[in-house]
Structures are given as C-alpha cells and as structure tokens.
Structure 1
C-alpha cells in the first residue's frame, strides 16, 4: 500500500512539475547585444562572405536550395511564444522566414530590429494554408489577417544553424 501511495504521489508531482514548467516557456531572456551568438558560432568565412538578404532571393531564383550559405539581414519579427522563429527583411523590403535547425535553440525577442548574420540552408518552398495560419497566430496577427490566408504561398525558408548579432 505504501508503494502505491508513493508511486501516485510521485506521478502527481511529476505531472504538476511538467505543467508548471510548460507555463514558463517563452523566448529566452537577453538583450541581443552585438557579438552575441545563438546556436552555433557562424564560421569566420561566413562572417566575411555573408551576402545581403536581397542577393539570397536572386540566388534562389536559379537554384531552389542553397546549403551552407551565410546571409546578412535585419530581424523584423520574432516569435513571442518561444523565440523559435524570426522574419528577416531584405534590402527591397521583402521578407523571409527563419527557423532554427533541429529546434535546437531559441532567440530573445530583443533580436527584433537587430542586424544579424545567419548561417544555414535556404530554399524556396510552398507553404500550406494551415502552416501560414499557425505562424500568423504565433505572431499575434488579427483574426481578419488570419482569415485572409486562403491559399498556399511560395516563400523563402531559411534553416539557421547559427545566428550572430552584428548591429
């Protein structure tokens, strides 16, 4: 009987701890200062040879996927829930979506407005309506904006292995 009570107490405690931990999930704290790195440190070559975000678009027109590419751009949006994705603006005011490789790291919301170097893989993909709506909800878009998403959309997706703040 003592074993059963002990096991039930242990199970209950584990569930309560898991729920409490889940409530505290959010983007990591931090000020995203110049020189800070999230994920893997971008290579020296990546930092020297990072292409402007606008050139990424041009390169992806000739090749649907680029591996081990470094891109420099301005962060305009960060996921408020976990810091698990961000949006980068190109020089011509277009945007592309960045996710973290293997969901292995997150970024603080303070990264918004900063210029970064991203290292990873880029590709052009067709994004489903459901996925677009999911990220619109994460970004706290209005219900009208979410409801306006009615068809798949082709866009640039970047899978970052490392991000470094440079400005």
Structure 2
C-alpha cells in the first residue's frame, strides 16, 4: 500500500471536493499518541501539517512507542468541524498545559482520519 500513500496536502485537496474519502492511505510521522490506551494519534506530514487519527471502532490500539516513527495509515478521511469542547477534551488527553487549553476558543475545521490499518515504515 505504501506506493499508493498520498501526502496529507493531496488529501486536503481531495477533501475540498468531497467531504469523505474511503480507502485512502496517508504517510506521515507520529507526533502524539493518546496515553490512555493508544486510541488516537497525531500525525505530522512533510509540510508540517498535523492531523488527527482515530482507530476504527477502537478495533486496535497503537503503542505509545510509535511516537516519532514514520507510518502509512489506511482508512477513510473526512473534514469535520471540531467543537471547542471536543478540542479541549483532546488537549487534556494529550496533557497540554492549562494555557494551551484556555487558548482554544473557537471551533476549527480539521481533517479526521479513521484508520483501519497502520504500517510502520522506518
């Protein structure tokens, strides 16, 4: 699947025209993993864009050891408006400082990726 992986920049362009994409593969570097049970992670791409990944139906969890690794994710992507409450919730999960949490004041549009497979490439 690696050769079909697209950059999140391309993903973003594609999502402009359709709200949801099925069966896409994206390549990036893991910057954050949920401490609790590896139920989500943040991936950073070549152009320093970050996006948020959840595991499909919580069917599998990712080890926190994935942090810093390059991975290829397979799954579906969509654009979503994330509420202030939800953003704060994730910021708390990620152990962000109170100042960072307080700085969240408006909903933001985000690419949400729901992964059904992850492959480490380095």
Same fold, judged at TM 0.5 (above): yes
Q: Does residue 157 of structure 1 match 2:112?
A: yes
Give the unaligned 5+ runs of structure 1. 1-45
RMSD across aligned positions (CA): 1.0
1:161 positional shift: 0.4
Q: Does residue 66 of structure 1 match 2:21?
A: yes
Q: Distance in 1 between matches of 2:43 and 2:110?
A: 12
Larger Rg computed on CA atoms = 1
Which secondary structure state, in structure 2, belongs to the residue aligned with residue 107 of structure 1?
coil
- TM-score norm. by structure 1 comes to 0.70
- TM-score norm. by structure 2 comes to 0.95
Total equivalences in the alignment = 122
Q: Distance in 2 between matches of 1:49 and 1:154?
A: 26
Which of structure 1's runs of 4+ aligned residues deviate more than 6 A?
A: none
1:60 positional shift: 1.4
Q: Distance in 2 between matches of 1:80 and 1:64?
A: 30
1:142 positional shift: 0.4
Q: Which has the higher strand share?
A: 2
Residue by residue over 1:64-89, the C-alpha shift from the partner in whole angstroms, topping out at 9 and shown as x without a partner, is 21111011111111111111100111
